[in-house]
Amino acid sequence: MNVLLTGAKGMLAADVKITAPESVSLIETDLEELDITDADAVLAFCDDHHPDLILNCAAYTAVDNAESNCETAFAINERGPANLAAACSRLSIPFVHVSTDFVFFGDGSHELSEDDRPAPRGVYAESKRAGEIAIERAGCPWLTVRTSWLYGLRGKNFPDTMLGLAAERDRLTVVHDQKGSPTYACDLARALWQLIEKNAQGYVHFSNRGVCSWFDFAVETIRQAKDIGLLSADRHVEVVPVTSDEFKRPAPRPEYSGMSTEKFTRLTGCPPRLWQEALKDFLTEKYREQSKQPC
């Protein structure tokens, strides 16, 4: 199967490539090879390369910057997916897209299911929801996988930020009143291939299992990093919980966006692992990579 992969230089795509089944031949593209916001370029590229499926890992993910870069956010998060889905409709092939927990208002306390009503707040969230709607209307077979709190070995992410700060500071302040489900990019990549193999369609939520606050996530990251050796065991770092009001950001965030993965488990027969287990693998792999670096 020939799979056109967009956003090939991104964090998620790095793991999509590593976990791809042997039966898959990837057509890797990033902005240099294909501008997904250009409808004619997308159609021409597909006519030249004849993909059997398009997997879209391209996205504008700078949540706060989106507030002042509305046009760019909508171009990449709405027009791009719309163009790719239109090409899939023309070729009668499936389109697989990755979306976000931000499409929900997130003021509840239950894990979000595929049946919950989207209510995005902020430019980033609105642009991602607009992309979802454009895909629905394109007329191709489609699968949109919503995920949350994504981190991985390639690219900027929350655990890396916490580790960097913990190495420099004795005191960190982290928000405790926003809760969600951390997701290791490697696990999401495997989940995407599992869903593609099952010919899944519609909306599916995937994250690692369990819900925590950013404060909990930071504390667990530092604790495990000490156990593994990424941080000195005798380094004392105080993590202080603060409210969202004390840590103002330009874009609004969901207060609670834990993901229900019941549908994913039902489709694949494979429940996601706990977020703490996935975090341990991530940190262990970081330690291995760090150990390989020359002194």
Crossing angle of the two packed helices 80-91 and 123-138, in degrees rounded to 10: 10
Amino acid at 230: L
- Asked if the structure places residue 34 within a domain, the reply is yes
Residue 61's contacts (CB-CB under 8 Å, 6 or more residues apart) are 124
pLDDT at 295: 42
Residue 130's contacts (CB-CB under 8 Å, 6 or more residues apart) are 74, 77, 78
The enclosing domain of 148 has a CATH number of 3.40.50.720
- Asked if the structure places residue 293 within a domain, the reply is no
Backbone angles phi, psi at 101, to 5 degrees: -65, -20
pLDDT at 61: 96
Q: What predicted TM-score, i.e. pTM, was given to this entire model?
A: 0.96
- Asked if the structure places residue 240 within a domain, the reply is no
Helix%, strand%, coil% for the chain, nearest 5: 45, 20, 40
The answer to whether 124 is a known catalytic residue is: yes
Report which of 190, 203, 185 is spatially closest to residue 128, judged by C-alpha positions: 203
Residues of the chain with pLDDT under 70: 293-295
Task: Out of 60, 124, 184, 203, pick the active-site residue.
Answer: 124
- Asked if the structure places residue 239 within a domain, the reply is no
Helix (DSSP H) and strand (DSSP E) numbers for the chain: 10, 12
- Asked if the structure places residue 51 within a domain, the reply is yes
Beta strands in the chain (DSSP E): 2-6, 25-28, 53-56, 95-100, 142-147, 150-151, 171-175, 179-180, 183-184, 202-205, 212-213, 238-242
90 CB-contact burial (10 Å; exposed 0-12 / middle 13-18 / buried 19+): middle
- Asked if the structure places residue 236 within a domain, the reply is no
pLDDT at 41: 98
- How many domains are there within the chain? 1
Other beta carbons less than 10 A from residue 48's beta carbon: 8
- Asked if the structure places residue 171 within a domain, the reply is no
pLDDT at 164: 95
* Domain around 113: 2-157+182-209+257-274
DSSP bridge partners of 6: 56
